[in-house]
Chain A
Amino acid sequence: MDVELINIHKRFGKVHANNGISLTVKSGTVQGILGENGAGKSTLMKILSGFIQADSGDILLDGKKVTIHSPADSVKLGIGMLHQDPQDFPPMKVVDNLIIGSPMGLFPDRKKIIREFEELQKQFNFSISPETYVDTLTVGERQQLEILRLLWLGAEVLILDEPTTGISASQKDLLFATIRKLAAQGKAILFVSHKLDEVEALCSQVVVFRQGINMGSMTPPYQTDKLVEMMFGKSIVRSENVCEKQEDKSFEIEELRIDDVRLAIRDVNFCIQKGEVIGLAGMEGSGQALILRALAGILRPTGGHIYMIEGADGGRIDLAGKHYFTYRDHGIHFLPAARLEEGLIQGLSLAEHFALAEEQTGFMVDRDQVENLSKKRITDFNIHGTPESRIEELSGGNQQRAELALMRDPLRLLLLEHPTRGLDIESAMYIWGKLKQRCEDGASIVFISSDLDEVIHYSDRILVFYGGKVSPAFEASSVTIDMLGQLIGGKGWS
């Protein structure tokens, strides 16, 4: 079945997630869709699969205009989507997972379903037992199950959203073989990814999205540097690094291991120097967020050491396995990306936040003192609000500045998740200005960002993550955006 998307628009509040995107996918082809996080790939796929509706634009299947109001509609039309997070029912059996949402009578014929499932499974060399429970399957198997289910329901168009996240290498090979076979059977495949190597290996054509716009397409042979340029743009204004590097070490990370449901990270070694900024680059889910949380003491590593260097004689304390509060007591602060879920407390005013963050003086809250302190911080950090403003009434930029204003001295290590995500340029520059001051006072910064400009611009050194692997630290001055883009996309790893 041929799919045509014409001039699709979708807005979320102020964000124009899809800005007039058009795309045609022919039956029997694998269409790669590239773009960094937030480029509008997922939005378009959700529109095609009926999860959300477009503000305007047309969808044509085999040249005929269709309307899709719900996922049920798209399934009926033969469109199946494999979501990045498996949309299945973990505590239930495989066979029951197949039945939910299928056009079955009241009493489904399990034997027949199992037979059909096994036949389908044989075609693709999968081996999932229909009687096991989904929560005993690996992420890769759950994905296979979902593909089989969609095919079983008669999907002619398959959307695969970041399907290689969290699956093993052999499962990936199997998946790619499956995709090729499906294309050969005449299905139209939409392969959404930010991994260049995979897209290049698999797709018969690639489009690149950036900021809700279709930046153009390419057919093999692929020129990686062109693709990277289309994904990230190339205008980079280099400026001085944020911190003057000082040669004394502040932290040493040795043989750090982390095991997550999706990812195993092995033997990470690096050191953090006083006043240094380290940027962690990588597509979301590559392991950088886990490392950051381990450094903050929120995630317990399964092995290795996080040494804090104490004093000039080089004595060190191992913080690994210690309680999160111990990390805080040693001046390690974490600023989560989910500000209103993890960082700030909805329903509390700015002044109340400042009161909570300050060193307590006695039993009673000294209102005048808190009021004065709040006013001072509000001015210092240029927060648009009053001490009485509730935190959720502030804009994102003001919330972020408030978070910075909440950090208490002495600060040794500052861990930031997407410090400027969703902020306008002015706010972002302001935030980094404040962070720079902290570095001058001797604090170190480790941060994650999906904005490569930001990573290169503000870091002294950069670590790149890909599928749980960690690169050696690059000097930011020696790194180009093209090189970083290739590494992030999985190219150039030994």
Chain B
Amino acid sequence: MDNSLLASFGSIFTWAAPVVFAVMGETLTEKSGVINLSLNGSMILSAMAGFAVATTTGSFFWGFLAGAAVGALVAFIIAFMSIGLKQSQVAVGYVLTLATKSLAYFLGAPFVGKPVMQLSLVKIPFLDQLPILGPVIFNKDIVTYLSYLLVIVCYIWVFKTSKGLILQGIGEQPAAAFVRGANVNRLRYIYTIIGGALVGIGGAQYSLSVKTWNGQLTGIDGIGWIALAITIFGSWHPVRGALGSYFFVLLQWLGITLQPLMPNVNSRIFQVAPFPLMILALLFVNIGSADWVERTLAGLPEGGRKFVSRLIRGMRTHSPAALGTPFDNE
């Protein structure tokens, strides 16, 4: 691989950072049993807010904080409407998706064309000298490094800490968690809001590092939906979710890199193609749990059946059992 291709390949990790943040945030939220469907809109709004605040104050810190605050606020609305007022999470999330997107374009219009603010790259001493890995992974902006760290922290939090186990518990069997002393609804509020804040940081990262804020042409539209799909595809596991995010961005990168080889096909198609591919992936991980598949498998000859069912079982995801259902102890 020559150096320019390598550098371009390395950009995958920067591009993927917003997706990783969003997927980690949504994973935490859904682990607790709440669906934040508004991702697509809240990412756009926090991208706008992050950019607007950063260019106004001249500070990246305030920009990212604004992005996090916007994401957290939208998540709070969902938590309040669904936990407090028992409204459908899907309905509220969907409306917020559209409303926040419109709001972002409306309020963000004056910021289109403002001077670009981009996080600067920080080389990690020694590590950046590694062949291949150095330029690909260790020559990034600070928030991209944080995205690596976030995956590890999420993984440890969810699976290794006592609090993370309670988080899993309230999403699996809220009644059992309640019996063991967990305040289910308060924890759901907390994880929804924290998850939303991470989504917001992802949005801000998009407009402050990956690209810039450019109104409807920002190019962030659709990423929130993909993040939701990756959360499922990643079986609510931070590491699998991160891999899914990198896979998605890899597809996008391939589209751009391969496009010159096929000049007859319009570039827009390459941009759109990764999205349906991710949904196909969703089909593969879900199909194993359908009744008819199990019935068909039962009819296959022994050898083939074992192989196919092992394959399907390996891909099958496990959703938090109480995902989307309100909890009431009476």
Contact = CB atoms under 8 A, between A and B. Distances in A.
Interface string B161-172: 111011011001
Contacts of A102: 162
Interface stretch (A81-89, A201-209, A265-273, A401-409): A81-89
Interface in A67-84: 70-72, 75, 81, 83
Given A70-B181, A101-B182, A106-B163, A92 B176 contact: no
Contacts of B181: 70-72, 75, 101
A100 B173 CA distance: 12
Nearest to B318: A91
A51 B169 contact: no
A101 B166 contact: yes
B178 interface: yes
A38 interface: no
A431 B179 CA distance: 39
A96 B168 CA distance: 10
Contact of B162 (A51, A52, A87, A106): A106
A108 interface: yes
B180 A75 contact: yes
Given A52-B330, A91-B172, A107-B160, A99 B179 contact: no
A72 B179 CA distance: 7
A150 B327 CA distance: 24
Contacts of B3: none
A312 interface: no
A89 B318 contact: no
Interface residues of B, number: 22
Contact of B172 (A75, A89, A99, A105): A89
Contact of A100 (B166, B175, B321, B330): B166
Contacts of B161: 106-108
Contact of A87 (B165, B168, B179, B329): B179
Contact of B176 (A70, A88, A107): A88
Nearest to B171: A89
B162 A88 contact: no
Nearest to B168: A92
Contacts of A72: 180-181
Given A101-B177, A101-B182, A96 B165 contact: yes
A interface SS class: loop
Contacts of B168: 89, 92, 96, 100
B179 A51 contact: yes
A75 B180 CA distance: 8
A104 interface: yes
A88 B182 contact: no
Contacts of A233: none
Interface string A286-304: 0000000000000000000
Contacts of B173: 87-90
Contacts of A51: 178-179, 329
Contact of A71 (B160, B165, B172, B179): B179
A6 B166 CA distance: 34
Contacts of A70: 181
B194 to A, nearest CB: 16
A100 B179 contact: no
Given A88-B173, A89-B173, A100-B169, A71 B178 contact: yes
Nearest to B172: A89
20 contacts: A71-B179, A71-B180, A75-B180, A83-B179, A87-B179, A89-B176, A90-B173, A91-B318, A91-B321, A92-B168, A92-B169, A92-B172, A96-B165, A96-B168, A99-B165, A100-B168, A100-B169, A101-B180, A106-B162, A106-B163
Interface of B: 160-163, 165-166, 168-169, 172-173, 175-182, 318, 321, 329-330
Given A87-B179, A89-B169, 16 more contacts: A52-B330, A70-B181, A71-B178, A75-B180, A92-B165, A92-B168, A92-B169, A96-B168, A100-B162, A100-B168, A100-B169, A100-B182, A101-B179, A101-B180, A101-B182, A107-B162
